[in-house]
Structure 1
Amino acid sequence: MSLSEIKGVLFDLDGTLADTAPDLVEALNLSLRDVGIAAKPLAAMRSAASHGSFALVDAAIPDADETLRTQVQQGLLIHYQRINGEHCQLFAGIAPLLDWLELHSVPFGVITNKPARFTRPLLNKLKLTARMSVVISGDSTRYAKPHTAPMLLGAQQLQCKPHQILYLGDAERDLLAAQAAGMLGGVALWGYLSATDTPSTWPAYAHYPSPLCLHTALSQALAKISQQN
């Protein structure tokens, strides 16, 4: 498999397509405030933002008992539903990449573990919903990533074979899901990787330091195809 075979591009949402950490950490801090715990700095919580609400809570209060842990997590979700998208923006370089994909008739979309009640409103605020061929949330199928179910549904909706799809993500489960589904996996190194992550060991086709690097690689692959034709 190679980029020259790619007919569609799918993205993880948090930490790959969009910088959602500011809203997620603000929601966390509002929930912590509700129980009398001091706010945590965004920089310290950022790497947990790709791993769900409980991961954020565990990063903030690692010694909490299960009652407090659940209380803060539930509060986080309540606050996040209210502020979702207020401070979120696409990562630098993503907007021109999406424009380029559209210009070259390459369909794109999102496969995320984020619940649909958060995914759709966020994509609406980013004005992306109508542009996407695929929007699959964590509860769109019975299983979430790293299971293949959402990946194969994405391929079906994209009307591409799995090996014709490049899937970008910033967590190991993203690359495991892509590999298991037969897609090319690309590591979004600009995302929410932690100091303990080892992306070089993940089952990836390529590692992209920035959206611009991804854009360049896709452009070069398309140019190569044009020359061959």
Structure 2
Amino acid sequence: MRAQAGMSAAPFPRAVLFDLDGTLVDSAPDMLATVNRMRAARGQGPMALATLRPHVSRGARAMSAVAFPELGGEVPAALVQEFLATYAQELGRHGGPFPGVPGLLQAIEATGRRWGIVTNKPEALARQVLSGLGWDGRCAVLVGGDTLAERKPHPLPLRHAAQALGLAAADCVYVGDDARDIAAARAAGMPALVALWGYRLPDEVPAQWGADALCAAPAAVQAWLGR
């Protein structure tokens, strides 16, 4: 607990910030529907969820590169825009919150803490996700990948979110499933937790990212908050 002299103690952290895809929401099924529509339009067969899933946290360009390996990693901007436009039509139709996430958010709210989202997903698409889940009235702050001049792993989005809540970065904690999430939190001076249930490549080692804790499930985040 942290408290200033003469003031009642407030719970630490005072707010919990989350990544979105791979942390709060399992959007991989929506992404799979997106790339398979794009592949079908080109006469190609569907790809497997297991092939795409590890790349979801890396964004539209990375997923397009996996979906179309014949491009050799050189993904044109037009293809990225096609991905985003198609995804906007599939968003929320196949995926949903990870098991345990709704209970975690309720537990955070029950302690009087606020929670918010800092994601590299375009803000308009992130707001569409929140609306579909009924979270838009509960999420205290949302920062998308195009909200500011910088995006994760730059610390600006996390600092901006904390400032919007009227808090210091050190009074928040960030939860994410990607190394960029932890790097951004560290650079912002914010404690960080790894969501091990999210998306990552086989050769990634979360224990080397420098987080404050590795959480195997949302219940582990709740336990960390209740220390």
TM-score (norm 1): 0.90
Structure 1 partner of 2:81 = 74
Query: 2 CA distance for matches of 1:70 and 1:87?
Result: 26
Structure 2 partner of 1:191 = 198
Structure 2 partner of 1:202 = 209
Q: Which of 173, 176, 183 does residue 176 from structure 1 map onto?
A: 183
* CA offset digits 1:113-149 (Å, max 9, x no partner): 0001211011100111110111110011101101111
Q: State the SS of the aligned residue for 1:43.
A: helix
Structure 1 partner of 2:8 = none
* CA offset digits 1:74-129 (Å, max 9, x no partner): 32222111121112211111101111111111000100000012110111001111
Q: Does 1:123 align with 2:130?
A: yes
Structure 1 partner of 2:164 = 157
TM-score (norm 2): 0.91
Q: Which of 60, 66, 88 does residue 59 from structure 1 map onto?
A: 66
- Is the 8 Å Cα contact of residues 28 and 72 (structure 1) preserved in structure 2? no
Query: 1 CA distance for matches of 2:177 and 2:117?
Result: 13
Q: State the SS of the aligned residue for 1:187.
A: strand
Q: Matched residues, percent identical?
A: 35
Q: State the SS of the aligned residue for 1:119.
A: helix
- CA drift at 1:63: 3.0
Structure 2 partner of 1:31 = 38
Query: 1 CA distance for matches of 2:195 and 2:166?
Result: 24
Q: Which of 135, 160, 169 does residue 142 from structure 2 map onto?
A: 135
Structure 2 partner of 1:88 = 95
Query: 2 CA distance for matches of 1:35 and 1:203?
Result: 42
Query: 2 CA distance for matches of 1:129 and 1:106?
Result: 16
Query: 1 CA distance for matches of 2:31 and 2:82?
Result: 12
Query: 1 CA distance for matches of 2:74 and 2:22?
Result: 29
Q: State the SS of the aligned residue for 1:49.
A: helix
Structure 2 partner of 1:112 = 119
Larger relative helix fraction: 1
- CA drift at 1:16: 0.3
Query: 2 CA distance for matches of 1:172 and 1:62?
Result: 24
- Aligned amino acid, residue 49 of structure 2: L
Query: 2 CA distance for matches of 1:66 and 1:155?
Result: 35
Query: 2 CA distance for matches of 1:72 and 1:28?
Result: 11
- CA drift at 1:43: 1.4
* CA offset digits 1:147-174 (Å, max 9, x no partner): 1111111111122211111100111000
Query: 2 CA distance for matches of 1:114 and 1:140?
Result: 10
Q: Structure 2: which 5+ runs fail to align?
A: 3-10
Q: State the SS of the aligned residue for 1:193.
A: coil
Q: State the SS of the aligned residue for 1:153.
A: helix
